[in-house]
Amino acid sequence: MPAAAATSVHRRIALVGNPNSGKSTLFNALTGLHQKTGNFPGVTVDKKHGTFRVKHHGQSVEVTCIDLPGTYSLYPKSLDERVACEVLTDPQNADFPDLTVIVADATNLKRSLFLAGQIIDLGRPCLLVLNMIDEAAKSGLHVEVARLSNRLGIPVLAASAREKTGISELRAAICEPLAPPAYPFTDLSAVAPDVVKLVQKEFPGLSQYQALHKAHLLFSEGHPLQALMEAAGFTPSGAQAEESLHRHGVIGEHIAACTGSQLARPPFTRKLDRILTHRIGGYIVFLLLLFVMFQSIFYLAEYPMSWIETGFAALRAWCSETLPAGWLTDLFTEGILAGLSGVVVFVPQIALLFFFIALLEDSGYMARVSFIMDKLMRRFGLHGRSVIPLISGMACAVPAIMSTRTISSWKERIITIMVTPLMSCSARLPVYTLLIALIIPDRTIGGIFHLQALTLMGLYLLGFFMALLAAWVMNLLIKTRERSWFIMEMPVYRLPKWNNVLYTIYEKVRVFVIDAGKVILIVSVVLWFLASYGYGGAFDAARKQEELIVAKIEEAESSKNAELKEQLPKLYEERAAAASHKLEESFAGQLGKFIEPAIRPLGYDWKIGISLITSLAAREVFVGTMATIYGAGDEENVEPIREVMRKERDQVTGKPVYSVATGLSLLIFYAFALQCISTIAVVKRETNSWMWPSVQFIFMGVLAYLSSWLVFVVAG
């Protein structure tokens, strides 16, 4: 080994391992907060990378670490696995590591060594971490680490990422001089020798296994060599099966030589499974869990949300008083601050929801949900795995749709993608919260059932059942010959690691605030402009009228004349009317009025019409729009938006605009319509066509319109 490798101050490593091997926990333990999540180029597979420094033999080594998606083998069966495979096998790849760190679940050596063996056979520097060694020891499994290391010909370390043991040893081992495995894991010379020679001739320098692996890739890509390979009798599935059997033979020997007794399933997991996958108990627990999730989101999130709301209201009031009057101040307080408030106010809900989802994932419970739901889901053309995207869809359809990648069947995946936006996402939550508080009484029935919380839960269930119904219809319409499978591990239950949960929450909130926040902010500013400016004489007259009243108010407020003071209440009313009139004549008002005839049957006026238009960008903009619309009606008194809406009366009838019928109709509209640019963009990316997002947008729009109309007619 050249000495240069040992003294290099940079090292690029990749973590690879089976799903549930504790890879991400290890990644968090190594990198701490010095990590970022992005995308692999061209695909929407999460790419987590981070850095850390190690003092090694008096030298500081900077390590760049990439956490590859969980994979079972180097023969990819899903997009996640393909990305991991490409990084590890292609030296031209930007993330190709100097050293591959294989993370093995020590309690599951047989399956872990399968992947490890493939990586060893690639013949590049790697080391093996036996993670969860504490759990293995607890259940009576002893692994002779030194002997295993000798047999495998690579460094082997025992660690527990959860207990943070073995981490410093791992850091040190990462900085040791690089060396390829001492010998191959498996003798594969009998597998397709002619094809290996063929590939080696075309790509000189490849080792025997590198060539064999390359042969599989070339074959699936339809490389010109394919015909020659076929002529040599090569079938990928045959070669793969042969290789797998060879591997398992070797694995069996290693395990027999290096470990004691076979592991038994932890009795705790077995007992818990008896309840959680029970034919009745399992569903009761699942429903209870959902109920607890939404009750706590509704109650717990309310406090920080009201602090944020009142905080921003106070800030806006203070700014509009302190800053010089003019359009720039208006832009800042009415456009930017109002929009920002609309973004930040989500953070508590998103954090809480992802807290629960991370708990379910981390504890191993999600796999049970899939297990007990698969039969039901399959009936609707979905997969047991669809439950996870669907549930994640309750937080945000964007990551949920991205998580459908683990569904290997195209049809089940497409259906899951299509119906996931029907699940009530967190962006709808502010709309729901606002409208529910407006039209549903704040009352408790039967001692525990809060009427508003029940309505909220009802909306979530409605979204869920509509998603199933839509899936069922699509299952009949979409034809395919491809097959699906449900082969997956049921991990043992583990206490969730708070670190992992917190990292998840932090990442989700960050992505939401930055990605969705941008859209919300821009739309808020555009809206403010549309609502504050207009075209033509009618708008100018309305604006002058408003200015006149504002001037009168200022005069009356600063005057000591009691008679003038008495006129103030009447003047305030006049000002509100003038502001409303001005909005009516603005660009936004024109736009809202333009679509009013179309939405009148649903019980909406032109102000709601404006909100529907702006919500096309993102549902949560509804709240921001309402803030801008009614904020424009009452500039100096920045009252919480809900109260302003409650007081809003129909100018003709004098009845509240937000009647129960209109409110319900709006709730249904927001439950079903695809008002989310981000979702549309993600669906386009994940299906690689504009057809699917278009179909989705139209079917959800028609569904929303018809359902809202029905609800308005019935409730009215």
Partner 1 sequence: MVVMQFTDEHLDTLAPGERAVIKSFTDKALSLKLLEMGCTPGEEVMLEKVAPFGDPIAINISGYVLSLRRAEAATVCIRRINNVA
CB of 498 to partner 1, least distance (A): 25
> Between 56 and 216, whose beta carbon lies closer to partner 1?
216
Binding residue for partner 1 (CB under 8 A) from 263, 461, 469, 616? 263
> Between 364 and 631, whose beta carbon lies closer to partner 1?
364
Residues in 17-76 that interact with partner 1 by CB under 8 A: 72-73, 75
Residues in 320-379 that interact with partner 1 by CB under 8 A: 367, 370-372, 374-376
282 contacts partner 1 (rule: CB under 8 A): yes
Provide the residue count of the chain. 716
Q: What is the spatial distance between Cα 417 and Cα 683, in angstroms, rounded to a whole number?
A: 7
Residue with tokens 């278009």: 694
CA distance readout (Å), 636 to 160, 249, 331, 655: 59, 79, 14, 25
> Between 383 and 543, whose beta carbon lies closer to partner 1?
383
Q: Which residues contact 397 (CB under 8 A, 6 or more apart)?
A: 420, 421, 423, 425, 676, 679, 682
> Between 19 and 534, whose beta carbon lies closer to partner 1?
19
CB of 442 to partner 1, least distance (A): 38
Buried b (16+ CB within 10 A) or exposed e, 475-500: beeeeeeeebebebeebbbbebbebb
Amino acid at 577: A
CB of 213 to partner 1, least distance (A): 14
190 contacts partner 1 (rule: CB under 8 A): no
CB of 629 to partner 1, least distance (A): 50
Q: What is the spatial distance between Cα 10 and Cα 25, in angstroms, rounded to a whole number?
A: 23
Binding residue for partner 1 (CB under 8 A) from 384, 389, 631, 693? 384
> Between 28 and 259, whose beta carbon lies closer to partner 1?
259
CB of 403 to partner 1, least distance (A): 19
Nearest Cα residue to 133 out of 270, 252, 21? 21
Q: What is the spatial distance between Cα 521 and Cα 453, in angstroms, rounded to a whole number?
A: 29
> Between 274 and 565, whose beta carbon lies closer to partner 1?
274
CB of 461 to partner 1, least distance (A): 20
Binding mask 490-529 for partner 1 (x = CB under 8 A): xxx-------------------------------------
Burial class (CB in 10 A: 0-12, 13-18, 19+), 205: exposed
Nearest Cα residue to 465 out of 424, 436, 415, 406? 424
> Between 493 and 699, whose beta carbon lies closer to partner 1?
493
**Terminal alpha carbon distance of the chain:** 82
Q: What is the spatial distance between Cα 223 and Cα 203, in angstroms, rounded to a whole number?
A: 13
> Between 135 and 362, whose beta carbon lies closer to partner 1?
135
> Between 269 and 296, whose beta carbon lies closer to partner 1?
269
Nearest Cα residue to 113 out of 102, 123, 122? 102
CB of 408 to partner 1, least distance (A): 9
CB of 455 to partner 1, least distance (A): 30
CB of 695 to partner 1, least distance (A): 29
DSSP 233-248: T--HHHHHHHHHHHHH
Nearest Cα residue to 368 out of 493, 452, 255? 493
> Between 245 and 551, whose beta carbon lies closer to partner 1?
245
Binding residue for partner 1 (CB under 8 A) from 52, 96, 203, 283? 283
> Between 278 and 518, whose beta carbon lies closer to partner 1?
278
Tokens representing residue 159 in the block: 């660690």
CB of 598 to partner 1, least distance (A): 45
Number of residues that bind partner 1 (CB under 8 A): 44
CB of 370 to partner 1, least distance (A): 8
CB of 530 to partner 1, least distance (A): 53
Nearest Cα residue to 436 out of 422, 424, 419, 421? 424
Residue with tokens 């996931």: 420
Q: What is the spatial distance between Cα 160 and Cα 131, in angstroms, rounded to a whole number?
A: 5
Q: Which stretch binds partner 1 (CB under 8 A): 208-216, 241-249, 331-339, 576-584?
A: 241-249
Give long-range contacts, CB 8 A cutoff, 24+ apart: 574-577.
Answer: 574/549, 575/546, 575/549, 575/550, 575/634, 576/633, 576/634
DSSP 531-591: HH-B-SHHHHHHHHHHHHHHHHHHHHHH---HHHHHTHHHHHHHHHHHHHHHHHHBHHHHH
> Between 73 and 675, whose beta carbon lies closer to partner 1?
73
Q: Which stretch binds partner 1 (CB under 8 A): 175-183, 272-280, 582-590, 649-657?
A: 272-280
CB of 113 to partner 1, least distance (A): 10
Binding residue for partner 1 (CB under 8 A) from 96, 203, 472, 486? 486
CB of 71 to partner 1, least distance (A): 10
Binding mask 89-118 for partner 1 (x = CB under 8 A): ------------------xx-xx--x----
CA distance readout (Å), 547 to 111, 552, 578, 585, 639: 76, 9, 9, 15, 21
Residue with tokens 């100096």: 636
262 contacts partner 1 (rule: CB under 8 A): yes
> Between 111 and 147, whose beta carbon lies closer to partner 1?
111
Strands 126-131, 449-450: pairing kind: unpaired
264 contacts partner 1 (rule: CB under 8 A): yes
Nearest Cα residue to 124 out of 84, 89, 176, 75? 89
Sign of the C-alpha dihedral, residues 326, 624, 453, 657?
positive
244 contacts partner 1 (rule: CB under 8 A): yes
Binding mask 562-601 for partner 1 (x = CB under 8 A): ----------------------------------------
Tokens representing residue 297 in the block: 């989101």
CB of 45 to partner 1, least distance (A): 19
Q: Are 709 and 601 in contact (CB under 8 A)?
A: yes
Binding residue for partner 1 (CB under 8 A) from 9, 94, 241, 710? 241
237 contacts partner 1 (rule: CB under 8 A): yes
Q: Are 39 and 53 in contact (CB under 8 A)?
A: no
Binding residue for partner 1 (CB under 8 A) from 134, 169, 489, 634? 489
CA distance readout (Å), 156 to 113, 127, 145, 175: 12, 6, 6, 14
CB of 714 to partner 1, least distance (A): 35
> Between 3 and 487, whose beta carbon lies closer to partner 1?
487
77 contacts partner 1 (rule: CB under 8 A): yes
182 contacts partner 1 (rule: CB under 8 A): no
> Between 240 and 659, whose beta carbon lies closer to partner 1?
240
> Between 378 and 684, whose beta carbon lies closer to partner 1?
378
Residue ranges that bind partner 1, judged by CB under 8 A: 72-73, 75, 77, 107-108, 110-111, 114, 237-238, 240-241, 244-245, 248, 262-265, 273, 277-280, 282-283, 367, 370-372, 374-376, 384, 483, 485-492
